[in-house]
Structure 1
């Protein structure tokens, strides 16, 4: 008997491999290669499931179960080698990270059936037992005994695993088991002693049922395991086998890989099926199970039974789609992949899926309201910002105190800060939105009489459900909420944790204003631990993503969102061009405001272009002196640097958004060169010309291809409130579908409404009716 295993079995602790490195379990850090395993085990947490996906990165011991549908080709003949290679690569990565991995695999029968079928077909053909038209691969495969196929395929399967794992310098061992191995005290102890010793030797055990000798898999019962007093689980398939192994070796995480994305409340192909990203034993009655896999022995009912059994014994479980790329690594990173089983899942917050579904329903409620009802809800929110400002400012002070303790930079503190003045301005902007909401949803854009008694209208409708991700600025929340109300869109808001108290207080006011019109679920704040990457994958629920924040945030959202359109600007590289006919006083005033009013804003000037004629006059020196007095750090463009013996340090790049009291100055010879520079280095956000020459101004306004192009005004006017839109969800530098400050109109799309009597297309084809296509005035 293995002494090391018996000692652990007696003490109820868990063995770890000899390759132990520094790792952390629930805040306790352990390190060193030669830590005494029994002391380490006793220092660990008691066996319990992780409470949150974010904790899965701490999973030390993993059991990965590969179902038949994962490793078998779709046609059922042979193994999906490419998919299997990807899974093996992930297991090898986990192994080299110091995690202890055990694999439970299917595939022996499929592998053996493929080989035997080929040989049987050849034999049958040679003996001419069947005519060519009668004998097929399916006929040959159907007469094969699964036990014989398993006997042939098992050695082939292990040879393949050995070859694949050897590419990553990982040693493996085959462990074949049968049901009696778990219910015989002697063999059970030997089995787990072997697994323990293999792990300690840094070897990955690959476990499979010995299908060559196993009894039929329909035998299923729960039995008391001899010598333990524990109730076991019937070994009827690899689902139950993996659950029993995970529980007995005290695994942290069991990943059950199947051919479905996870657990649904009913078969996925049925109407109303909803993916359950988190599952607790209380939700068992909410699930309806469909048929079993076509290639495996266990259905979804079997998987849930096995998962809940393991979960009750302290093992966290994830059921996922093994065909998804990098599924294992994605799960361990904490991403919302598959269904996470835990009895410690928090029920205090509603899942994002439900919030998104509610937002869709709420959007339709808003759409059915009259314009005056939508306006009344926005007016109510505007009034609440003033009436409950003490409550808002108290919450905001908590955020400011936390941010100050954490050493947040002053510009970010300014963004985070709310004041009576800011709330008053917010309230005024919201009332502007309310007063303009009468001409938004349902507005007729086009009206055409197609034929007699056949009328076509194009009308505005909401986009659907918006996801707005914003950083720092809590004043964004009521602005975006009001725009969503006016456009009848459902809305999910994901704010930064630095404004958690403020956002919660403001969302309470939004809910209160919506409640007055029966649409309180139309807008919600995502306050769970969902990763942004998970939200970006909800293409079934979200129609448009709008990020508001740093250029890094915007670029990250654009990169990660593959299926949901993103409305945003990646950068705010705004230019001010001082033409040769610029007025000096106006130039100084406009440049100061463009750069210094709010340097962190996306519409702040980042590059100042100066006509070369001003280099011999006073304007250049006046501009530099003014900027220095304002504390602005100046960088010189390449051409300017060549003209100055002693001057500002050269800019590292001409395409840079400083977002602070810094800017670049460059010299251009004329208007055409200024426009070329803007197109080459700008971000199509906002660009300004300062000139007294109206002809030059018109050429600039026409030639510059940016969302906002100004003449003799500060770049800071690129703002929804200043444009009279009330507020904005952001400034778009895209060309589809909205551009510049995006107000209510940018959150609308259209639908076509056709009304007739008994018209059919065939009547027009046959000449019984005639087309008119008469454009009518829009009322």
Structure 2
């Protein structure tokens, strides 16, 4: 497509999404759940077709020399197909947030004032590599009463279109418009530029991918964006921490999986416990081939630790690399997180209730934890079902964005003929 054709195509997609959003917004819960169940059935039935489509994408990715981590994210397995279907069924089982009324109170005038939860409208989602996002995003947007425009990465075009066929079948079975979920068919990057500026048709943009993608969207979008740029997550081990608990949490937060946004990237250790706990922890990390970079105090205890630079404290490694700093107490730990953190997820390990409460109150991140791993910062683990992403913004949605984050609230007023005096 040339530039004119892409603009015309995207305008058509936007118009159809806007029209579909009005129908989906008033669809009842039973219809949405029928669609989700039919999508899951189609995905399970078409497992072989989905894996064949994914094999094409993988062949192309290897031919282009894409890095191993990208190919890993791109790969669909039989288990992955089953998980996609199960995710849609889990979304169907969740309570429908649309129409929920809260805070209804009588005013002195006799009117009742409350809030009703309503869909956002049309949600544009831009993502890379992971084909399962096509199903997850479609399901979440639909259940929350929204239309969705999905633009996956060019490397997953065959997988995404195959999944989109299952999604459209589910919508058709339930009597909902197929245009309620549209997967962009062109791989031209100009389509993204159009999508993020179509303010007449799109209400919110959600980017899911690398920092470069998210920065581009945040800088160029003319539509509100739900996003997080970095996951510079911390665990602070207090001198009143339970030793075994701290060891297991610090290990899991870093090594359970390296390439996720809720993986710990900096470990802060109270000077009062550093001599005792750092040798045990460093052995675990070295045995798992994790590269350690530390401040002078940490290297004084474990000489094999490399010297950390100022940039290391800001770094989201997404790799088996960990920065370690020894701090003189809770205040310095919070100061460090405030300066270098990304307001994603931070945890304290301590048996001191007062310090735990201070950490919860004073650390300004979208998820703040006591005595557990940062790896729990996830929509599924929080009971939200699947998630559309994680937001470190402070307005509207914050933290893992599930169904409630894909809705808004409007004031409703109930009267019986009252007039303002």
Sort the TM-score into its range (normalised by shorter chain).
Answer: over 0.9
Q: Distance in 2 between matches of 1:625 and 1:433?
A: 42
Judging changes above 3 Å, is the alpha-carbon distance between structure 1 residues 390 and 454 closer, same or farther for their aligned structure 2 residues? same
Contact kept? 1:429, 1:721, Cα under 8 Å: no
Q: Deviations over 1:620-648 (max 9, x none)?
A: 11211211221212222365357766531
**Which residue is equivalent to 2:274?**
615
Choose the corresponding residue for 1:476, options 133, 137, 159: 133
**Which residue is equivalent to 1:573?**
232
Judging changes above 3 Å, is the alpha-carbon distance between structure 1 residues 454 and 610 closer, same or farther for their aligned structure 2 residues? closer
Q: Distance in 2 between matches of 1:701 and 1:652?
A: 26
Pairing of 1:217-366 with structure 2 (within 5 A): 277-278=4-5, 351-366=9-24
**Which residue is equivalent to 1:680?**
339
Per the TM alignment, residue 406 of structure 1 is displaced from its structure 2 partner at its CA by: 1.9
Other structure's SS at 2:384 match:
coil
Q: Deviations over 1:13-59 (max 9, x none)?
A: xxxxxxxxxxxxxxxxxxxxxxxxxxxxxxxxxxxxxx623xxxxxx
Per the TM alignment, residue 408 of structure 1 is displaced from its structure 2 partner at its CA by: 1.9
Judging changes above 3 Å, is the alpha-carbon distance between structure 1 residues 611 and 527 closer, same or farther for their aligned structure 2 residues? same
Structure 1: gaps spanning 5 or more residues: 1-50, 54-276, 279-334, 337-349, 766-779
Other structure's SS at 2:115 match:
strand
Contact kept? 2:296, 2:307, Cα under 8 Å: no
Structure with the larger RCO, 1 or 2 (CA within 8 Å, 6+ apart): 2
Is the aligned partner of 1:735 residue 2:394?
yes
Is the aligned partner of 1:701 residue 2:360?
yes
Contact kept? 1:631, 1:661, Cα under 8 Å: yes
Is the aligned partner of 1:403 residue 2:61?
yes
**Which residue is equivalent to 2:411?**
752
Contact kept? 1:432, 1:725, Cα under 8 Å: no
Per the TM alignment, residue 649 of structure 1 is displaced from its structure 2 partner at its CA by: 3.0
Choose the corresponding residue for 2:156, options 485, 494, 499: 499
Q: Deviations over 1:379-401 (max 9, x none)?
A: 22223332322221221122122
Contact kept? 1:446, 1:459, Cα under 8 Å: no
**Which residue is equivalent to 1:764?**
420
Contact kept? 1:382, 1:427, Cα under 8 Å: yes
**Which residue is equivalent to 1:12?**
none
Per the TM alignment, residue 451 of structure 1 is displaced from its structure 2 partner at its CA by: 7.2
Judging changes above 3 Å, is the alpha-carbon distance between structure 1 residues 430 and 741 closer, same or farther for their aligned structure 2 residues? same
Per the TM alignment, residue 587 of structure 1 is displaced from its structure 2 partner at its CA by: 2.6
Per the TM alignment, residue 409 of structure 1 is displaced from its structure 2 partner at its CA by: 1.8
**Which residue is equivalent to 1:555?**
215
Is the aligned partner of 1:603 residue 2:262?
yes
Q: Distance in 2 between matches of 1:451 and 1:693?
A: 46
Q: Distance in 2 between matches of 1:693 and 1:412?
A: 42
Is the aligned partner of 1:534 residue 2:190?
no
- Paired residues in the alignment total 417
Structure 2: gaps spanning 5 or more residues: none
Choose the corresponding residue for 2:143, options 481, 486, 491: 486
Pairing of 1:27-426 with structure 2 (within 5 A): 52-53=2-3, 277-278=4-5, 351-426=9-84
Q: Distance in 1 between matches of 2:59 and 2:294?
A: 39
Other structure's SS at 2:176 match:
coil
Contact kept? 2:275, 2:301, Cα under 8 Å: no
Is the aligned partner of 1:520 residue 2:208?
no
**TM-score, normalisation: structure 2:** 0.92
**Which residue is equivalent to 1:655?**
314
Judging changes above 3 Å, is the alpha-carbon distance between structure 1 residues 647 and 364 closer, same or farther for their aligned structure 2 residues? same
Q: Deviations over 1:562-613 (max 9, x none)?
A: x311111111100011221333333332222222222111111111111112
Per the TM alignment, residue 364 of structure 1 is displaced from its structure 2 partner at its CA by: 1.3
Contact kept? 2:292, 2:305, Cα under 8 Å: no
Choose the corresponding residue for 2:381, options 705, 722, 728: 722
Choose the corresponding residue for 1:624, options 282, 296, 303: 282
RMSD (Å) for aligned C-alpha atoms = 2.2
**Which residue is equivalent to 1:444?**
101
Judging changes above 3 Å, is the alpha-carbon distance between structure 1 residues 584 and 407 closer, same or farther for their aligned structure 2 residues? farther
**TM-score, normalisation: structure 1:** 0.51
Q: Distance in 2 between matches of 1:723 and 1:443?
A: 20
User: Is the radius of gyration larger for structure 1 or structure 2?
Assistant: 1
Per the TM alignment, residue 435 of structure 1 is displaced from its structure 2 partner at its CA by: 1.6
Per the TM alignment, residue 701 of structure 1 is displaced from its structure 2 partner at its CA by: 2.1
Q: Distance in 1 between matches of 2:374 and 2:223?
A: 31
Contact kept? 1:375, 1:437, Cα under 8 Å: no
Q: Deviations over 1:668-707 (max 9, x none)?
A: 1111211111111101100111223333323322221111
Q: Distance in 2 between matches of 1:713 and 1:422?
A: 27
Contact kept? 1:400, 1:417, Cα under 8 Å: yes
Other structure's SS at 1:541 match:
coil
Other structure's SS at 2:18 match:
helix
Q: Distance in 2 between matches of 1:592 and 1:547?
A: 30
Normalized per residue, which structure has more helix? 2
Other structure's SS at 1:726 match:
coil
Q: Distance in 2 between matches of 1:664 and 1:699?
A: 24
Q: Distance in 2 between matches of 1:392 and 1:553?
A: 26
Judging changes above 3 Å, is the alpha-carbon distance between structure 1 residues 446 and 650 closer, same or farther for their aligned structure 2 residues? closer
